[in-house]
Amino acid sequence: MSWGWSPSVGLKSRDGSNTTSFEKISFSGGQIAIVARASGHGKCERCWHHREDVGSHSAHPTLCGRCIENVDGAGEVRRFA
């Protein structure tokens, strides 16, 4: 049996808010338990990733370091389209 996760499927917490990160907490007997919780990191307004470096750059306080490198720096090397 194969298991997968589709990013098109959204999860909601019991209070109806969106959950954004996942953590495997146990694996035994072929069953898996997962805890979903909201990220504690800021959300980059350009790529929408939740990263701990969002807000740490004074020139771009709403961007993550990866996006700053792509906007102001040489950019990242792309391996795929």
Q: Is the pTM for the entire model greater than 0.75?
A: no
Which has more confidence, 3 or 34? 34
Any domain includes 58 = yes
DSSP label of 22: E
Encode pLDDT of 5-35 as tens digits. 444 344 555 555 555 555 555 556 666 667 7
Region of 74 on the Ramachandran plot (φ > 0 left; ψ -120 to 50 alpha; else beta): alpha
| Residue 43 included in any domain | yes
- Containing domain of residue 56, as a range? 21-72
- Does residue 80 lie in a domain region? no
Q: Does residue 1 belong to any structural domain of this protein?
A: no
Count how many domains the chain has: 1
Whether 8 is covered by a domain: the verdict is no
Mind listing the pLDDT tens digit for each residue in 34-46? 777 888 899 999 9
